[in-house]
Chains A and B, each alone.
Chain A
Amino acid sequence: MAEILAYVHKEGFFHRLHPFTKITFILLFGLMSILSTNLLFLVLLVVAVLIIAYFASLSTEVMQQFKLITLMSIILIGLTIITMPSGDTLGYLIPSIIPIIGGHIPITMGAIDFGLVLTMRFMVLICVFQLFVISTQPRDIVHTMEHMKIPVDYTLMFLIALRFIPTLQIEGKRIHEAQLARGYNPGSGVLGKVRSVAPIVIPLVSNALARATVLGLTIDIRGYRTGIRTRIREFAFQRRDYATIFLLIAAGCGYTMLIVQQII
């Protein structure tokens, strides 16, 4: 089973970059996508991320997220249409041919535009974060965060959160199988998902809570709070990292120029 957000062992160029370089990449792309409201620029950012994923040999993994992103974009555009009507009206969500209730909830250009901006933003954020997590071993992330002087509690919280994603996925599948074996058929679609909440989520949460206690104890026992660590098998900052960071800084400067000159 393909695990969500679990490290993928490959030899691509992105894997070879220092985690700090990748964190810089996430921060820059994240900031650019959050600050920008220009749809074309955001589309270009998405294309850039997909090109990077392709050259990092991680495009299959990134594309797996697109089902979720499509669903999310439909919800986001739907929400903006309902809550933020502005600009030209293209039609109505409830067609005017329907008597009495027809001709309500206008579909406006402004709402669609903003919905698409939000979708592209999330697409960039999800993809860059995924690229970082699946190409970096958790141990290297912990070491880098430690070098960045992030308090150990926050580092461990991040580590545990990352580690629980595949666990919950695998555990959820096992629980689902156990309930199916008892003849459970919640049905498909949204209603099926809602019906399956109690038999799947209750054992999932109960087991995860029990597991979190043991995991916390294990982390303490292995000595993560001692502050002592043998500097072994650590990523060294290499020429490619300097080059990438230089490119990222150049991109950041270019973006600032575009903002200042009000081009985007």
Chain B
Amino acid sequence: MIRLENISYTYPHTVQKALKNLSFSLPRGSCIMVTGPSGAGKTTLCLAAAGILHHEYGGKKEGVVFVDGLDVLNYPDLTALAQKIGIVFDDAEAQMIFTTVEEEILSAIEHRGLDVAATEERLNSIITTTYLTELRTRSPHNLSGGQKQRVALAATLALGNDILILDEPTSELDEHATTRIVSILSDLKKQGKTILLVEHKYSHFKDIVDALVVMENGTISAIGKPGDVLADVRLKKIVIADFSGIRTMPKQAHQDAQFPVSSDPIIQVRDLSYAYGDILALDSVNLIVQPGEFVALVGENGSGKTTLVKHFNRLLTPTLGNIIINGKNTRDCTITGLARHVGLVFQNPDHMFFADTVNEEVAFGLHNLGITDGNEIIDAALSEVGLAHTKDLYPRWLSRGERQRLAIACVIAMKPAIIVLDEPTTGLDGDEARLVLEILKILQQKGHTIIIITHNKEIATNCADRIVTMEKGKIISDSCGGA
């Protein structure tokens, strides 16, 4: 259905090729999964395969892309190609145009030349198969990241095309929602649809994947049946994240306890309730975290995990109840004051970067704490996350994995006792995710208290000392990691 022949591509105003002489074909009815480190060219490959690079992007292009036997340049425009290909981009929010979920999906159906009855039927069928019935009248902008991804997928499926290109469609989904997507794709494959899937969750998709493509530095390092590709130990580490042994990692030689471990809890959450307008997001939550613990906060999308951690540095103030950080009630503290004790790394690192260099980006937090001569601290923080070589680069030029590590460096330079990370491994391949978790483990060994929000059970069981599970605004279980 899609064939790429010797495709090379260089983005405008850059010199390095994003794709290097790449060839592969996607046979009709097959499902091919593409994986690899961030910055390897996976998204660019999706754009090339959909004909978008040739029709909508500048830059230097070489090679030919065939869709359904025809060179993409022979299609008059993207709209013509969209009669054959449906694509879900990795940024779900950017694909939300309208004000209700139903309107969003309808907008993909109403230009297909169907009659009113067929349009209504397809709309209802897509809403049911993508489990969006309850969200039908909700505004897409107010949904969680995972829910937005489901709406984006539903709108693409609604086009009814035979070829689907999905760029990380489950990156923000929890286990349950990912399983649902796998089941939807499995049904589509049975219906004869052709699927090109960029993903990091091989273990979830292994039953429907016919071939595996591993990309590195703009080229295909390996392509073939999953079993053959995974026989290579190095490639296997990229495809399947291996978190084993992180919890029992040997202590680092340079470890020096920055925070003397005291017996008093570092975080106390007492009967915390929080409401967004009429919606109760947290309902009488109680939690005690001891200094130096590594806690994984797990739970489905919308269970209240992010709302809970935003209370730790008073980005949110409890509707009812109290939070005690280091013995002080957050109601008596300012956000700026709490930033010295609690570092929060948000899910999307791009929300924080604004400086011209990596060095200046890290220095920003230090300036806020009144430290003007922090070069040594900055160097140490960047070395800690393996980014010392990037200090003069523009932060947004770094790969997703590097940007995630830079976000961590920005926080650890401020030396907060508590470091909270919201989904720190989203969009990272196996190797990159492991690297981030190893950094966190070293920080724990230095005395930091680490709290991570994650959907990944493997991470929770292999890295955390404690797993706290949330559901509908409540903590429903609190157990030891690895149990």
Contact = CB atoms under 8 A, between A and B. Distances in A.
Interface of A: 1, 3, 6-7, 9, 137-139, 159, 163, 166-167, 170-171, 174-175, 177-185, 198-200, 202-203, 206-207, 210-215, 217-226, 228-233
Interface in B136-187: 137, 139, 141, 155, 159
A226 to B, nearest CB: 5
B157 to A, nearest CB: 12
Nearest to A175: B351
B226 interface: no
Contacts of B113: 228, 230
A137 B103 contact: yes
B467 interface: no
Nearest to A137: B99
List the 6 closest pairs (A to B, CB-CB), nearest first. Answer: A223-B111, A183-B339, A183-B368, A214-B94, A202-B354, A7-B99
Contacts of A185: 334-336, 368
Given A203-B350, A207-B350, A211-B93, A182 B339 contact: yes
A174 B340 CA distance: 20
Nearest to B354: A202
Contacts of A221: 78-79, 82, 86-87, 159
Majority DSSP secondary structure for residues of A touching B = helix
A203 B106 contact: no
Interface residues of B, number: 63
5 contacts: A1-B276, A138-B98, A181-B335, A183-B339, A220-B77
Contacts of B414: 182-183
B79 A220 contact: yes
Nearest to A184: B368
Given A9-B137, A177-B315, A222-B107, A210 B351 contact: no
B155 A222 contact: yes
A183 B340 CA distance: 7
Interface of B: 52, 56, 77-79, 82, 86-87, 89, 91, 93-95, 97-100, 103, 106-116, 119-120, 137, 139, 141, 155, 159, 276, 310, 313, 315, 334-336, 339-340, 342-344, 346, 348, 350-354, 364-365, 368-369, 396, 410-411, 414
B368 A182 contact: yes
Contacts of A9: 100, 137
A230 B110 contact: yes
A180 B316 CA distance: 12
A175 to B, nearest CB: 5
Contacts of B87: 217, 221
Contacts of B93: 167, 211
A175 B107 CA distance: 30
A226 B91 CA distance: 25
A181 B107 contact: no
